[in-house]
Amino acid sequence: MATAGTNLSAYDKNKLPDASNFRIGLVVAAWNEEITEGLWQGAFDALRDCGVLKENIVRWNVPGSFELIYGCKKMTQSYDMLDAVIAIGNVIQGETKHFDFVCDGVTQGIKDLNIQGDIPVIFCVLTDNTKQQSIDRSGGKHGNKGTEAAIAAIQMAQLRKEARF
Ligand SMILES: Nc1c(NC[C@H](O)[C@H](O)[C@H](O)CO)[nH]c(=O)[nH]c1=O
Ligand SMILES: CC(=O)[C@@H](O)COP(=O)(O)O
């Protein structure tokens, strides 16, 4: 099912766990800042709306989406009390194949962090053909991927809390 026809910002707080004790880290890429700041705002607002305390939201910044891998790794190593981390980036197709390598690299890197580490790392990286697609998914007509990522972070933090091993 494509994003079109759904709304990335839709969630029901009544179906979510109590997030008031969760501590959430966010690593934000500066590339395409107009988009990534919109994703950040969507995530921050949703976390606060779901009860996460402002002082329990940690933000780090990195140059581009490829650096999200290292930034998220170091964040999970630096704070042993985090319950989830959200990686925020926006990769837009240019003239060359660089798009393919950045997208694949980030995807595989964040996947590896979830395999190797114990803190869930949420993939909030828009990989779009055009800037308009990114605008539409960072607070535009399709909602905000940052909101979706915040909800996923809360749900995965709860899963980690309930997991026995
Ligand atoms: N073209 C985009 C990039 N490229 C930069 C890389 O992410 C990386 O910072 C560079 O290769 C140095 O390691 N990054 C994005 O986040 N979005 C793009 O559209
Ligand atoms: C994803 C990228 O690095 C890309 O936007 C850079 O543009 P280009 O492929 O034209 O160099």
Q: Which domain holds residue 56?
A: 33-163
Flag whether 116 is in a domain.
yes
| Residue 151, CA distances (Å) to 31, 85, 92, 106 in order | 24, 12, 24, 21
Query: pLDDT-based confidence at 6, cuts 50/70/90?
Result: confident
Is any ligand 1 atom within 6 A of the Cβ of residue 66? yes
Q: What is the pLDDT of residue 80?
A: 79
Give pLDDT tens digits for 73-114: 999 999 879 999 999 999 999 999 999 999 999 999 999 999
Residue 15 lies in a domain: no
Q: How many domains, in total, are found in the chain?
A: 1
pLDDT of 165 reads 80
The answer to whether residue 27 sits within a structural domain is: no
The yes/no answer to whether this complex scores an ipTM above 0.90 is yes
Query: Of the residues 13, 74, 98, 111, which is catalytic?
Result: 98
Residue 22 lies in a domain: no
Is the pLDDT score of 11 beyond 90? yes
Does residue 46 belong to any structural domain of this protein?
yes
Report the atom number in ligand 2 closest to the C-alpha of 99.
Answer: 1
Is 98 marked active-site?
yes
pLDDT higher than 70, residue 1: no
Residue 76 within a domain: yes
**CATH number of the CATH domain containing 101:** 3.40.50.960
Distance 33 CA to ligand 2 centre (A): 15
**Amino acid sitting at position 154:** I
Cβ contacts of 130-133, under 8 Å, gap ≥ 24: 130/92, 130/93, 131/32, 131/35, 131/92
| For residue 2, pLDDT beyond 90 | no
Q: Residue 142 domain-assigned?
A: yes
Tell me the best of 31, 66, 95, 131 to mutate to test the pocket of ligand 2, counting ligand atoms within 8 Å of each CB and taking the most. Answer: 95
Mutate to test the pocket of ligand 1, among 27, 28, 31 (most ligand atoms within 8 A of CB): 31
Mean pLDDT of the chain: 96
What average pLDDT does range 34-44 have in this prediction? 98
Q: Which ligand is nearest to the CA of 100?
A: 2
Higher-confidence residue of 8 and 20: namely 20
Cα of 165 vs centre of ligand 2, distance in Å, is 42
Q: Packing angle between helix 68-78 and helix 98-116, nearest 10 degrees?
A: 20
